[in-house]
Amino acid sequence: MPMKSYDPESRVRVVQDKLAISEAKKQEKLQLAAAKQTEKAKLVAARKAKATQAKLSDNNIEQASYWIREYGKELITLYGSAVIKPNHYYATHVGACSCNFGPLHDFWTFLYEQLNKVLKSFKMNNHANGELETTFFHEFQRTCEVGRLTYALQHYPPRSLPFLASKVMLKTSKEEQGTVTGLVMLCEGLDNMSNDEYMFQNLLSSSPDNLLPASPSSSPLLL
- Write down the pTM of the prediction: 0.37
Q: Residue 116 falls within a domain, yes or no?
A: no
Q: Does some domain include residue 183?
A: yes
* CA–CA dist 221, 223 (Å, integer): 6
Decide if 77 contacts 35 (C-beta within 8 A): yes
Domain that holds residue 155: 130-200
19 domain residue, yes or no: no
Specify which of 120-129, 179-188, 197-206, 214-223 reaches the highest per-range mean pLDDT.
120-129
78 within domain boundaries? no
Q: List, as own/partner pairs, every contact residues 54-58 make where C-beta atoms lie below 8 angstroms and the sequence separation is at least 24, other chains included.
A: 54/103, 54/105, 55/103, 56/98, 56/102, 56/103, 58/99
Q: What are the backbone angles phi and psi of residue 36, rounded to the nearest 5°? A: -65, -40
Percent pLDDT > 90 in the chain is 0
Q: How confident is the model at residue 170 (pLDDT cuts 50, 70, 90)?
A: confident
Task: Judge whether 206 lies within some domain.
Answer: no
Q: For residue 11, is it within any domain?
A: no
Domain count, the chain: 1
Mean local confidence (pLDDT), 39-52: 59
Answer yes or no: is 135 within a domain. Answer: yes
Instruction: Specify the higher pLDDT residue, 213 or 190.
Output: 190
Q: Which residue has the higher pLDDT, 40 or 79?
A: 79
For 3, list phi and psi in degrees, rounded to 5: -80, 135
Tell whether 149 is covered by a domain: yes
